[in-house]
A = this chain, B = another copy of it.
Amino acid sequence: MDKPLTKPSIREINERVILAAAESVFAERGFSGATMSMIAKRAGSPKANIHYYFPTKETLYRAVVARVLTAWLDAARSFDASDDPKEALTAYIGAKMDLAREMPLSSQIYASEMMRGAPVVQDYLETTLSAWVAERSGVVRRWIAQGKLKPIEPKYLFFMIWATTQHYANAAHEMATLEGGPLSDEAFERAKGQVAQTVLFGVAAGG
C-alpha cells in the first residue's frame, strides 16, 4: 500500500523533510526547548516556510507524535506472530528492542510525552493502547491457564518489557558512557538476547 504511483508533490517532500528535522530537535530539546528557528535551520528552509506547512509549533509536534505512534503499533503486531508464549514474547521483545535502536528519537519523544502527562496522546492511551493491553492480557492469561506461564499479572509483564526496551533508547547516552562508547551491533544483539532470555525464564512455568 501507499506506492508512489505519482511522483511526490512538493508539499509531500517538504513535509517529510520538516517532520524529520522537527523530530530530531524535539527529541534533543523537548517540546518547550525546541525552537522553530532551530527546526527551520535543520530543515534548510526559512522559518516562515515551516509555518506555511505547519501553522503552529503544536501542530508540528502533533504530526511528529502521530508518526511515532504508528511505528509503535507496527512493532506491537509482532506479539501476535505466534500462539506460543516463548516465540511471541521473543518476537515482541526483539521488535521493541530494534525499534528503540533504530528509532531512538521517536522513543525519546514518546517517553517525554509520558513524563509530561501525555498532553497530546492521552486519547491514544485511553482507546488504542488500552484495547491492545486488554486483548493481549487475555492471551497471557490463557497461557497461564494452560500452564505455560507462571501466574503473573499480565500488565506488569508488559510494563517490564516496555521499560526495558525503551531504556535502550532513553538511556543510550548513559550506556555509551559506561561501555566506553556506543553499543556495537554485537553488544546490542547480546543485550537483546539476554533481555529476552531473562524475561522468558522469569515468567516461564517452573520446571
Residues of chain A at the chain B interface (Cβ within 8 Å): 27-33, 108, 111-112, 114-118, 122, 125-126, 129-130, 133, 150, 152-153, 155-157, 159-160, 162-164, 166-168, 170-171, 173-175, 177-179, 190-191, 194-195, 197-204
**Contact flag A173-B118 (CB < 8 Å), given A163-B163, A164-B164:** yes
| Copies of this chain present | 2
**Contact flag A162-B167 (CB < 8 Å), given A115-B111, A155-B179:** yes
CB atoms of B191 and A159 under 8 A apart: yes
Shortest beta-carbon distance from A159 to chain B in Å: 6
A-side interface mostly: helix
Interchain residue pairs with CB less than 8 A apart (10): A112-B112, A122-B177, A126-B177, A133-B178, A150-B201, A155-B179, A157-B194, A159-B164, A198-B202, A198-B203
CB atoms of A163 and B159 under 8 A apart: no
